[in-house]
Amino acid sequence: MRGLVFLHGGGQGGWVWDETIAAIDRQSGGSARCLALDAPGCGTRRGIDTASLGFEETTRQLIADIEAAGLSDVLLVGHSQAGTTIPHMIELAPAGLVGRVVYVTCSAPLAGLTTLEQMGNGPHGSDPEAVGLPAGPGTTIPDRYAQMFCNDMAEGEAAAFLGKLGRDNWPASAYARRDWRYDHLRAVPSSYVVALRDQALPAQWQERFADRLHARRITRIDAGHQVMNTRPEALAEILLAEARG
């Protein structure tokens, strides 16, 4: 079985994968090796100065973390904003490091747009070329985050999750980049997990991003954006099948 390497999205850290990694451990009987990465400024790397850290340097640090763990031919699993970094990781990684990829409700901005420009500022559906937001600009940030990330969570679960946000920050270079390249991804076996109740990246946009990332197969789960937290057993089953495939 391939080792599984996890990359988190924006505003989160490797901690976001804890429930899914625990489910993988249960389902595999402890035979699966898992590694949760932290981008600079996130998780175990919170608080470091990332002001001068370029996009490529961030990518190379993540690659180095996989190599330092002694892993190769891994199943690389990304969530949300990780969809912007994984293509660059594959481009720069030494041959044999990444064997397969699973994109979990990942974004993939159009070349020429930053991540935030691809998201847009208006409500969902107001601009056919931008993802949009689940509510108008008058909504407070906490309310917006609750809608985007917690629409399928119980009240206590949502409060606990929202309490973890705000301490993890990707380098600013991740939000300035516009030079997205995807054609090389055709050579890497990949699949995409669509979260059907996602209010951060609606399902129709996930389908568009899956095509842009050249995902060969799409799996759908009835869950919101934080599927790794709300449906960890279902996601673990999918990922173990990919790791064994």
CATH number of the domain encompassing residue 111: 3.40.50.1820
Directed axis angle between helix 55-68 and helix 82-92, to 10°? 70
pLDDT tens for 170-197 read 999 999 999 999 999 999 999 999 999 9
**48 and 61 in contact (C-beta within 8 Å)?**
no
Phi, psi of 98 (to 5 degrees): -110, 120
0.75 exceeded by pTM: yes
pLDDT at 136: 58
Q: How many domains does the chain have?
A: 1
Write out the residue range of the structural domain in which residue 77 sits.
Answer: 4-244
pLDDT at 31: 97
pLDDT at 137: 55
Q: List the chain residues with pLDDT less than 50.
A: none
